[in-house]
């Protein structure tokens, strides 16, 4: 058998197996959902904010100073990962398989992760910088341009915008 023929058969087998695995995952994912539920909403590029006034409306525009925002599922995942031990100084894509990318860092003098960067849409521009210390600080670049113009602090399971 010629090498090119053998290589073609091998590549074809890998493609067929990969396609079957993808089809199985899609079918399994669809069968695990209850009837009538659609796909989850996409992750927002900037956090939705809730004003602290007596108003009950929410806004996607920048909120007034002193606004709060509940933890997102992504926030809970990242906070859980930050408390898990790892060796080394950098952990790339700390939460693989998600629609967002998180890189975590353990700087010299720290026993655990002390900062993370988040790319919400995996476009190679960091949307958020997190710092873990006496309190958790989250800096946000709402325009997806690596310019962090908003700062949030985690207090009692709620993000509070820094004045």
Quote the tokens at residue 6. 């053998």
Please indicate, yes or no, if residue 94 is contained in any of the structural domains.
yes
Please indicate, yes or no, if residue 32 is contained in any of the structural domains.
no
Q: How many CB atoms lie within 10 A of CB 48?
A: 13
Report the C-alpha gap between 162 and 46 in whole angstroms.
Answer: 16
Look at the chain and report how many structural domains it folds into.
1
Q: How many CB atoms lie within 10 A of CB 45?
A: 14
Question: What local confidence, expressed as pLDDT, does residue 36 receive?
Answer: 47
Please indicate, yes or no, if residue 36 is contained in any of the structural domains.
no
* Order of strands across the sheet that contains 115-119: 58-59, 49-50, 68-70, 158-161, 150-155, 136-140, 128-132, 115-119, 101-105, 90-91
Strand 49-50, strand 150-155: pairing: unpaired
Question: 136 Cβ partners below 8 Å, 6+ apart?
Answer: 79, 130, 153, 154
The pTM of the full predicted model, rounded to 2 decimals, is: 0.59
Question: What local confidence, expressed as pLDDT, does residue 7 receive?
Answer: 73
Report the C-alpha gap between 72 and 78 in whole angstroms.
Answer: 10
Q: How many CB atoms lie within 10 A of CB 152?
A: 22
Please indicate, yes or no, if residue 115 is contained in any of the structural domains.
yes
Domain housing 97: 49-161
Report the C-alpha gap between 54 and 44 in whole angstroms.
Answer: 25
Please indicate, yes or no, if residue 10 is contained in any of the structural domains.
no
Q: Find where tokens 């992750």 sit.
A: 43
Average pLDDT, consecutive stretches of 10 residues, N- to C-terminus, the chain (163 residues): 72 63 56 49 40 32 62 94 87 94 92 93 95 94 92 95 87
Please indicate, yes or no, if residue 8 is contained in any of the structural domains.
no
């Amino acid at each position: 058998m010629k090498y090119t023929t053998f290589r073609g058969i091998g590549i074809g087998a890998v493609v067929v197996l990969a396609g079957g695995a993808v089809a199985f995952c899609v079918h399994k994912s669809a069968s695990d959902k209850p009837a009538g539920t659609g796909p989850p909403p996409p992750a927002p590029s900037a956090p939705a904010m809730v004003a602290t006034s007596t108003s009950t409306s929410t806004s996607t525009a920048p909120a007034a100073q002193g606004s709060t925002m509940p933890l997102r599922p992504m926030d809970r995942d990242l906070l859980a990962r930050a408390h898990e031990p790892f060796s080394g100084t950098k952990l790339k894509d700390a939460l693989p398989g998600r629609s967002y990318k998180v890189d975590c860092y353990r700087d010299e003098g720290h026993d655990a992760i002390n900062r993370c960067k988040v790319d919400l849409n995996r476009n190679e521009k960091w949307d958020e910088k997190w710092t873990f210390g006496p309190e958790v600080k989250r800096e946000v670049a709402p325009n997806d341009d690596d310019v962090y113009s908003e700062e949030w602090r985690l207090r009692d399971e709620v993000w509070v915008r820094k004045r």
